[in-house]
Amino acid sequence: MDNQRVFIWLAVAIAAWLNYDVYQRDYGAPATPAAQVAEAVATAETTHPLPQPAAPAAAADAKAADGAPANPVSPPTGTAEAASEEPAQTVHVRTDVLDVDLSNRGGEVLRADLLNYPQRKDNPDLKVRLFDATSAAQRFVFQSGLLAAAGTSAPDAKARYTVPATEYLLTDGTDTLTIPFTWTANGVTVVKTFTLHRGHYAVEVRYDIRNDGPAPFTASLFGELIRHYEPVSRSMWNPETYAYRGPAFYSGAKYQKINVEKPADSPLPATPVQGGWAAAMQHHFVAVFVPKADAPFQYAFDYSHGEYAFSAVGSPTTVAPGSSGSVDATLYVGPKLKTELEAVAPSLTYTNDYGVYLTLLARPLFWLLSTVHRLVGNWGLAIILSTFIIKLLFYKLAETSGRSMARMRNLQPRMKDLQERYKDNREELGKHMMELYKKEKINPLLGCLPMLVQIPVFIAFYWVLLESVEMRQAPFMLWIQDLSSRDPLFILPAIMGLGMYAQFKLNPAPPDPMQAKIFAFMPVVMTATMAFFPAGLVLYWITNTGLSILQQWRINKLVEAETAHRARH
């Protein structure tokens, strides 16, 4: 068997794996007919009835146009109803990491800028913005509240609150900001408090209920992420487009993404779950509504008119007359930083989406990369040193492969002689080449099988470099000032191409002239392909290729010495 032909199949296998992995990342959930999902949800509502939050504005308007009520929740009465006539106020909140706008209408989160994350490195004043209510095309908001049974009042997403001030700034010497929103109706007072902490992206949302009315007050806590949705057109020239952008959830046992345009293909749990969360994801950043781990919540999803609404509704809480109660949850809005996510809920690390099958490999690889970074303080050096460590771990496998290729290289003159002798008889050529392999105790597959073992590690490391926000806009040295974007001078891709060509020359040449031309042209193809990939990924490839060249060169010298020694004795 021709050893070089196997390399072509390896390249095809890698491409097929990458495509399959991306498909699984987006559409890997088992398909369930919409009728079965509807039946399961209906059963859950019968056994555990829960009030439902409002649909997105566009969907609500459409329902109203059809003659149905736009909001199934009864409007508040008393003080809250009177307040609904007043224009909404915006409350500005700023910490050292978040700049947020809240509305006194429902306590809605209208805007959230991440102060430590510029959209572009050359424009540090323009920050990454997650929540945004400035236009329909960018609409992304978070609504939360209490939902009461029909005919009663509770501060839902449309309730009007009173707020002591319209601006809250975290000052020096202060580590916590609390913003109270107060709602009163029918003898019931609800204080909705947002709590933000210095250096953290988690926002605590708490409802303190005081019932001074004559009847019990019963309501359910809900949180809802509403976002305009645009399908992403993938491009191999822009690796960022392969990162998932859309809703995802954790059921307490399983992480799953939702196919926005076909929600029935990724059904939500039919019954309330504990320890779950609902998220709106994008590359490097995420917004997540996280209920308390021991509180059962029912999840619901709706998509219409270009917007999706992803909600979680808790079990009813009852506060007797003359008593008090409280419910709370957490909103995380920020980067996918492992330590920050784990502090809110360990399962939130799933938002670092490494793929269905590669998570078990990707997580230790990220641990290695971050551990090395803590020692050297530079992500570029961390990539180089981590690649070196990975090469050491696979040294013996690579040595087996390298020895096989070195011995194949030494057979090149005899193989060319056989090709000339049997150039018109491929059957005889194959027979005599196999006899030559057998005589020299060479197994061509032995040079490729160790490489197959390393393919999942390579792909996992690829996703780690692509998904890790820690490397976003991280500098390396000289002209590489952002490892998450392409090399502006295309120097690294050119070095990579030269390295691949040197590796090609170091390995045994394919006996087939056409294959030889294909392999000689591969460095050019890979250079053009990787020219627009993140510089950190190209740096990894250069390091891996350089170490492979050094290892193969050493193995070639050892095999040559061993062959010469056997010839003398």
pLDDT band at residue 304 using 50, 70 and 90 as cut-offs: confident
The sign of the CA dihedral 130, 239, 301, 325 is negative
Report residue 522 as tokens: 């591969």
pLDDT band at residue 299 using 50, 70 and 90 as cut-offs: very high
- 286 closest CA partner among 315, 313, 317, 255: 255
Residue ranges of domains in the chain: 3-18+366-568, 32-230+241-353
Average pLDDT for residues 324-329, to the nearest whole number?
Answer: 95
Average pLDDT for residues 268-284, to the nearest whole number?
Answer: 92
Between β-strands 323-335 and 202-211, what pairing exists: parallel, antiparallel or unpaired? Answer: antiparallel
Phi, psi of 435 (to 5 degrees): -65, -40
The answer, yes or no, to whether residue 54 has pLDDT greater than 60, is: no
pLDDT digits (tens, 9 = 90+) for 485-531: 888 888 888 898 888 888 777 766 555 566 667 767 777 877 887 78
The three-class DSSP label of residue 369 is helix
Between β-strands 323-335 and 255-257, what pairing exists: parallel, antiparallel or unpaired? Answer: unpaired
pLDDT, residue 132, reads 94
| pLDDT above 90 as % of the chain | 39
pLDDT, residue 53, reads 42
Where is mean pLDDT largest: 38-47, 250-259, 330-339?
Answer: 330-339
Average pLDDT for residues 44-49, to the nearest whole number?
Answer: 35
pLDDT, residue 180, reads 97
Phi, psi of 321 (to 5 degrees): -55, 135
pLDDT digits (tens, 9 = 90+) for 374-393: 999 999 999 999 999 988 88
**In this structure, which amino acid lies at residue 41?**
V
Q: What pairs with residue 286 in β-bridges?
A: 281, 334
Average pLDDT, the chain: 79
pLDDT, residue 354, reads 82
Report residue 65 as tokens: 């146009």
Report residue 48 as tokens: 């555990």
pLDDT, residue 181, reads 97
Between residues 481 and 330, the one the model is more confident about: 330
pLDDT, residue 189, reads 96
Show the beta-strand stretches assigned E in 399-558. Answer: none
- The vertex-152 CA angle with 148 and 157, nearest 5°, equals 50
Q: Which of 185-199, 215-229, 262-276 has the lowest mean pLDDT?
A: 262-276
pLDDT, residue 56, reads 38
Between β-strands 188-197 and 176-185, what pairing exists: parallel, antiparallel or unpaired? Answer: antiparallel
225 close to 329: Cβ distance less than 8 angstroms: no
Neighbours of 44 (CB within 10 A): 17
Q: CATH number for the 32-230+241-353 domain, one of 1.10.540.10, 1.10.10.10, 2.70.98.90, 3.40.109.10?
A: 2.70.98.90
Q: What pairs with residue 103 in β-bridges?
A: 90
